[in-house]
Structure 1
Amino acid sequence: MSTETPRGSGICQRLNGLYADRDHGCEKYYNCGGGTPYPTACPGGLVFDDLHKYCREATAEDRKKCVQEPLVLSCGGGTKTGYSETKCSTFKCPLLTEYPFGDHARYPNPVDCKSFIVCLRDGTASVKGCPGDMLFSNVQYVCVNGTQTNECYDPAHARKQSPELV
């Protein structure tokens, strides 16, 4: 008799296991039990190794990636009873073990459908633009003809894909 290993959903890829939480820092991970994710953190300066599933000393590369400043996408002002308020939309690249485009990953820009965010292996991010009337597809992760698509940024989809949108 053959049984299939139960699969989880969302953060818990399997019902039980440890999974990195790169959205909230290199030391953060989820300890999944019965499909329920329990936020956990490595002690005192250690980082979570998602490949080997344990906390370890940070390498120079880890430190560089973990302390990258978020990329500021846009800032807007507002007023709130007597004082000015500025809110900025930022993006921080996740730590990845595999990059879907060889040396980089691409993410939709939540403030502009004509551009996208490129994350390099060193953790740096930059905004790149689509030419002419093309828009960035959050389905295909490339620039596509803007008159033939409605695949532009969808906040619900992007928050699942993107590491840190504020």
Structure 2
Amino acid sequence: MLSLILGLVSVVAGEPVSVCRPTGDRYFIADGAQCDRFHMCDEDGNLAAEFLCQDGLVYEPVSKQCGLPFKIDCLGSGRTLLQEPQAQGNCQRLNGKWAVAGTCDEYIDCMSGVERKVTCQNHLVFDDATGDCEHPDTANRAGCTAEELYGFECPNTVGQARYPAETDCRAFFTCGIFTNYHPRLGGCPVNSVFNPASQACDDPENVPGCENYYSTA
């Protein structure tokens, strides 16, 4: 375990801390104020060493490893301080994910200062809070809402309903309580189209206006 942690940390000098307790074995403990710093205590309860996660990573006390901050609660644990950023290229820190300005589905993924641009698939958008690609109604990013991206707003309906997308016979919007009545884009399998009458995917010949959707003529 120690070797895994040390691969993404550096030993740092800091003020002595009285957080160690004698346990008969060495163990790690999170710093009380800085989320990317942690300590190793020796068998007798003395502070043996202090470590700093690589820039952009924070310490997770349960797994005892450094990771991206999206699923690690620094704020709730009161560990709000971080080391100074080591920006490099488009990486605001050596490790992390950041939305590409002016886009909804692109982000920069940085690992140890090496960056790559990633595009979310299947009409998903990048969520700054989770670091993942999410449905627009879940991500709730300004300028990237489902209504703004699709040009469609859910009618005031009770329960769940589907509505056709005017520009594509295969596409439809689902509106309901599970999306908080924001539209979620869906699509029918190849060789079928959405039938508004049945609220389901159907053969093209059964949907007026979509009979020739797959025609090669």
TM-score of the superposition, structure 1-length normalised? 0.34
Higher RCO (CA-CA < 8 Å; seq separation 6+)? 1
The structure with the larger Rg is: 2
Relative to total residues, which structure has the larger strand share, 1 or 2? 1
